[in-house]
Amino acid sequence: MRATGPIPVSVPPRRDPWRFVRPLGHRDFRMLFGAVVLSIFGAGMWAVVMVYTVIGAGGTAVDLSLVAASMAVGLLLCAIPGGIAADRLSRRGIVRVVELLNLLATGSVAVAGALGAVTIPHLAIAAFVIGAGAGFFFPAYSAILPRLLPPEQLLAANGLEGAIRPALQQAAGPAVAGVVVAAVIAPAHAAFVIAGAHALALVLLMFVRPEPPDDVTDAGVDAPATDTTSARGVFHDLREAVVFTLRTPWLLWTLLYATIWVLVTMGPEEVLLPFVTRDRIGEDPRLFAFLLAAIGIGGVVGSIVVSSMKLPRRYLTVMNLVWGFSTLPMIVLGVTDVYWLMVLSCFLIGFGFSYGNVIWGTLLQRRVPRHMLGRVSSLDFFVSLALMPVSMALAGPVAEIVPIPVIFLVAGLVPFLLAFVVIAVARMPRDEIAHPLDA
């Protein structure tokens, strides 16, 4: 006998047009995010102010390399310790200390500039402190987000950060620095603006309340959280994170993929593209600057687009495929002499890179146990940075013996093909179905 009565109708959930900005509804995240905005803006300014302060102090290209290398060394040396600290100590306390050190470092350069006493060793020390601070700041920032926001808003939060980073660090920060440096008597005077940004960031961080206790475990994590209040060795902490990474196929193979991705693409993009632009388009430095701006704008758009939607059901597959497809425009950069095609290619590269990065950051926060999120984030940070200078160092010598189009062909095809290999070897389609993250 057939049942009678109304037939239930499934109503699809309404799309949330404000999903991208929902995290800003949380007071503590607003304070934290405001501090991140100011810190990134300061970093963008420092990239320009550092160069002209070195020159203003009578430094040579070797001196500039020394100062820049000091910052990179500080970052690399502190990336792993920063992750360990983020899992052992108060994340709120770490970001406060970092901003205080940034304030002291940039403030000391500004004061020295006002006194006419800027030296290369002083700048190298300040750069090291700033680099080391970044190594501690971002693992702590990544680890604190799941403690401040509900899981369904992490994608949007990462999208916000992914959008403002290229906009401020690659565009607004350097642009403002250029204007300020041109307006002041000595380049080091512009460091007062940077110090002011870090001072305001520190003030905002003082309004972030203590983190709630870890009394819940997010759905979809690959291992249960454990008590970490007992004293343990640093090497034990690092070993725990490394073992977890090695035993988690989606994490391990994505990190390996990212390592090769950085190795084959960063050198051609950062070292060879300026010469390609000069030789095929023209010597005006603005032509290359516009290409970098296109990458940054693409990154902003990609971050906004992905964070305005729900996390894809096939999140691992989508992430790796987007990364893979995003390198195909490198092939165009290697062969074309049409400038608008170069601009479009750079936009697509930036779009795909940031689109995948927002998903990646969200997966770390959703599927890595909270008690080791800082360490795993720092491993990701370290791996991503470690081969970047290697790629840049190899690009020039390789270009002496291999034609430029071939180098860009390899840079475009290797990550694209490797994306399919990684998806298959790590069995990502099966994994993402077994660990749904629908929010």
What does each C-alpha distance from 177 to 71, 133, 420, 432 come to in angstroms? 18, 21, 42, 44
- Report pLDDT for 13: 45
With pLDDT > 70 as the criterion, what percentage of the chain qualifies?
A: 90
Separation of alpha carbons 231 and 409, rounded Å: 51
Dihedral angle, C-alpha 391, 397, 399, 402, nearest 10 °? -110
The stretch 236-250 carries a mean pLDDT of 87
Token pair 């971050």: residue:
303
Share of the chain above pLDDT 90, in %: 38
Amino acid at 260: I
| Of 225 and 381, the one with more pLDDT | 381
Written as one string, the DSSP assignment of 120-187 is HHHHHHHHHHHHHHHHHHHHHHHHHHHHHS-GGGHHHHHHHHHHHHIIIIIIIHHHHHHHHHHHSSSG
Token digits of residue 362: 């969200």
Domains 21-205 and 234-434 share a fold: yes
Residue 362, classified by CB atoms within 10 Å of its CB into exposed (0-12), middle (13-18) or buried (19+), is: buried
Domain spanning 234-434 has what CATH number?
Answer: 1.20.1250.20
Residue 132 has pLDDT above 90, yes or no: yes
Domain ranges of the chain: 21-205, 234-434
pTM listed for this prediction:
0.76
Residues 6+ apart with CB under 8 A from 250: 316, 363, 367, 426, 428, 431, 432
Q: Does residue 427 sit in helix, strand or coil?
A: coil
Mean pLDDT of 4-27: 62
| Single-letter amino acid code for the residue at 253 | W
Question: Picking from 54-58, 233-237, 318-322, which range would have the lowest pLDDT averaged per residue?
Answer: 233-237
Mean pLDDT of 45-67: 83
The CATH code that applies to domain 21-205 is 1.20.1250.20
What pLDDT, on a 0 to 100 scale, did the predictor assign at position 214? 60
Lowest mean pLDDT among 94-108, 290-304, 314-328: 290-304
pLDDT one-digit tens code per residue, 190-229? 899 999 999 999 999 999 998 776 654 444 555 544 444 4
392-423 pLDDT, tens digit per residue, is 778 888 888 999 999 999 999 999 999 999 99
pLDDT of residue 10: 41
Q: What is the pLDDT of residue 227?
A: 44
Of 381 and 30, the one with more pLDDT: 30
